[in-house]
Structures are given as structure tokens and as C-alpha cells.
Amino acid sequence: MEVKARAPGKIILAGEHAVVHGSTAVAAAIDLYTYVTLRFPLQSAENSDRLTLQLKDISLEFSWSLARIKEAIPYDSSTLCRSTPTSCSQETLKSIAVLVEEQNLPKEKIWLSSGISTFLWLYTRIIGFNPATVVINSELPYGSGLGSSAALCVALTAALLASSISDKTCGNGWSSLDETNLELLNKWAFEGEKIIHGKPSGIDNTVSAYGNMIKFCSGEITRLQSNMPLRMLITNTRVGRNTKALVSGVSQRAARHPDAMNSVFNAVDSISQELAAIIQSKDETSVTEKEESIKELMEMNQGLLQSMGVSHSSIEAVVQTTVKHKLVSKLTGAGGGGCVLTLLPTGTVVDKVVEELESSGFQCFTASIGGNGAQISY
């Protein structure tokens, strides 16, 4: 049997960093996906006693005997309940880490360790100790702020849960899960994100699971329904950043200048609230007028992010390049590098700006905003 699943990446449209200080943030799914294929062998097959993970994008393969996995991961049939998402204990995580270390990851790929640990935890908790080959490939650049880890957790969980669904009626096309299964999927994916990130907000996995857009404030997530098409140029600066250090830097600046920074955070909150209202608006305002408003809000948000100290010369280079083409850009995510969003109003031709950005060593994608969440196929 073969099961396929896919889950989208995400962008932060407004509110990054300020959200840590009580402001509202708006996030959206993008039509760049992570794909997971789950294959179960026949009983007589050669690899009927192994669990294999193939990472197609980076040409790596890992394989464990089921006996070795059972030896390392505590097993109690009474605790195997896919309908009750559970956290991975530190003790179990240490045992899983040993399984990962035994695969002798290349030093330059050691950052994959937490993702592989997440794979082993989700697989054994949802499926148990059954042989399979799991193939993963992604359209999302790793570690760039586009939610690649959440998309992995969501797509993997979707495939694992889908393998146990008795009514496999979606044929060869992509089909969304029902609300009950989506809620379960999101909870499991959040447990996976905790292994990778420690204390995630839940924004990334929720956007990836449900799709469309969400509003997030003080731990509360509200799903939004977009009533207008939005396209973005996403530019990966290829500059790595330390998210923890950037978040800390904003907090330190807020401690030094509390009144000024509170004004910045309040301004960001207003931008996020207005953006969410425009996106959901059903009034007769033209798409062009709405796009103009969003452009202005993005421009203001970028200025506020600069004032927080989280921009970077690579981000500014993208901003200045797109300004020459009468387009507006802002960083997305932690800043300090990572990715930059450029709004593409209806009818915009991007060939020249993409050519200019890529000649500077940047990586460009075009994406539709607010599309489907997790989907499965058999």
C-alpha cells in the first residue's frame, strides 16, 4: 500500500517579533509544499523488517531494523493510541538520539538530527513498529523562515494518519482531511515541532495543517478566510540567522526604550488588524485598491521591523531592488537574513526583477497566498 501527503509552507504577512510582546500577527499558507510518500512492503518483501527514511532533496537515506527501534524506544501497546497525541519525554528523546547518531550523519548535515528524531517519534507513536519506506521531498528551502519543519511534521502526520483511514475514497487526486482528523493532525504535528524547536508558538503547524490564513495574538489562534487572491515574490537571501538572538535583541531594545518600543508594537498590531480586515473584507472595494492598501501596510511594517533592529543588509538589498521596479517588500519571519516578501499586484510581470535578484545570488519563488492545507492521496 502507498499513501501520499503534502503540506504547505507559510509566511508571516505582518506582526513578526511584535507578536512576542502582545501584538497581533497574520500568517498564511503558500503553495510551496513538502511531500511525504509512505510505502508498506508485502509480508514476503525483502525489507519487511526495516524502517527506511529517504530524503530525496539531499540524497540521503537512513534505515533501522525494527528490532533495534524496539530496543531503543520504550514500547507499551497500551500507550500506542494515535487518537491521543503525546509529548516525547526527555528520556525517550535521548534514546531516539542514539538511533540517529548510529546513522553517522555527515557533519554538515547534523542539523537534520532533530527532524529525523521527530520522524522516529511520530512514526512509532502513530503507526507502531511496522516496516515501511518513507520518502520525503520539499519545495521549501530549509531554515529560511518558510515553515519547512512544520510542513514536514504536518505532511508526515497526515500520511501516517491517512494510512489508518478505512474509507480511502480520494482516488488519485489530492483530498483534504475532515475537521476531526485535521484537529488530531495539528496536535500531533505540534508535538513534532516541540522536538525540533523546543517551545514553538503553534503558528506554523496550524497554518500548514489548515491552510488559508490565521491571526495570532497572546497564544490565541483565529482562522481567517481570505476573500481576495494574493501573489508574492519570495526571495531567499540565503543568509542564515539566529532566531533566538534576534528575538532577544528586540526584547533588550524594548527594555532600554520601553515607551518608544511599545509604540512600535502597538503600530504593528494596528497594521496586522487592518491587514486581516482587508483580506477578509467582502465589500465592493476593488482588488486594486485593496492591493494598494496592503502595499502601504507592508511598507510601514518593514520600517517598524527596521526600527526593531532585525533587518539586514541582504534584506535591504532586496527591498531597494524591488523598489526600483515599483514593488514593495518586507522581511518575513525572524529577519537578520532569511526570506523577503514582495507583493505582486494583479498583472505584475516579475521576469526583470527576478533576473536582477538572482544575479545578486538570491533565490526567488513566486507563490499564491492562502491556499490549501494538508492533503492526502492514495
Q: Cβ distance 344 to 233 under 8 Å?
A: yes
- What is the pLDDT at residue 266? 97
pLDDT at 141 over 90: no
Q: Cβ distance 360 to 321 under 8 Å?
A: yes
Q: Cβ distance 35 to 5 under 8 Å?
A: yes
Predicted confidence (pLDDT) per residue in 226-243, tens digit: 878 899 999 999 998 888
Q: CA torsion, points 139, 142, 144, 150, in degrees to nearest 10? A: 80
Residues carrying an active site annotation? 204
- What is the pLDDT at residue 320? 96
Show the cell assigned to 67.
Answer: 528490532
Q: Could you give the C-alpha distances from 242 to 49, 77, 301, 315, 331, in angstroms and in order?
A: 40, 40, 21, 15, 15
Q: How confident is the model at residue 166 (pLDDT cuts 50, 70, 90)?
A: low
Which H or E run includes 129?
none
Q: How far is the C-alpha of 155 from the C-alpha of 161, rounded, in Å? A: 10
Between the two ends of the chain, the Cα-to-Cα distance in Å is 8
Torsion region of 315: left, alpha or beta (phi above 0 gives left; psi -120 to 50 gives alpha): alpha
CA geometry: angle 301, 198, 375, nearest 5 deg: 75
Q: Which residues contact 190 (CB under 8 A, 6 or more apart)?
A: 85, 153, 200, 202, 205
CA geometry: angle 275, 279, 280, nearest 5 deg: 120
Q: Which letter, b or e, does each residue of 306-332 get, where b requires 16 or more Cβ atoms within 10 Å of its Cβ?
A: bbbebbbebbebbbebbeebebbbbbb
pLDDT at 282 over 80: yes
- What is the pLDDT at residue 139? 94
Show the cell assigned to 256.
Answer: 532600554
| Pairing label, strands 60-65, 175-176 | unpaired
Of 159, 148, 171, nearest to 33 by C-alpha is 148
Of 164, 178, 176, nearest to 123 by C-alpha is 164
Residue 258's Cα: distance from chain center in Å? 31
Domains of the chain: 2-224+372-377 (3.30.230.10), 230-369 (3.30.70.890)
pLDDT at 168 over 70: no
Predicted confidence (pLDDT) per residue in 242-251, tens digit: 888 899 999 9
Predicted confidence (pLDDT) per residue in 82-107, tens digit: 888 989 999 999 999 999 999 999 88
Predicted confidence (pLDDT) per residue in 36-71, tens digit: 999 998 766 666 789 999 999 889 999 999 999 999
Q: What is the pLDDT averaged over residues 326-347? A: 94
- What is the pLDDT at residue 371? 87
Q: How confident is the model at residue 172 (pLDDT cuts 50, 70, 90)?
A: low
SS3 147: coil
Q: How confident is the model at residue 213 (pLDDT cuts 50, 70, 90)?
A: very high
| Mean model confidence pLDDT for the chain | 91
Q: How confident is the model at residue 285 (pLDDT cuts 50, 70, 90)?
A: confident
Q: What is the pLDDT averaged over residues 179-200? A: 92
- What is the pLDDT at residue 45? 60
- What is the pLDDT at residue 76? 62
Q: How far is the C-alpha of 342 from the C-alpha of 330, rounded, in Å? A: 7
Of 212, 272, 225, nearest to 22 by C-alpha is 272
- What is the pLDDT at residue 46? 63
Q: Which residues contact 98 (CB under 8 A, 6 or more apart)?
A: 72
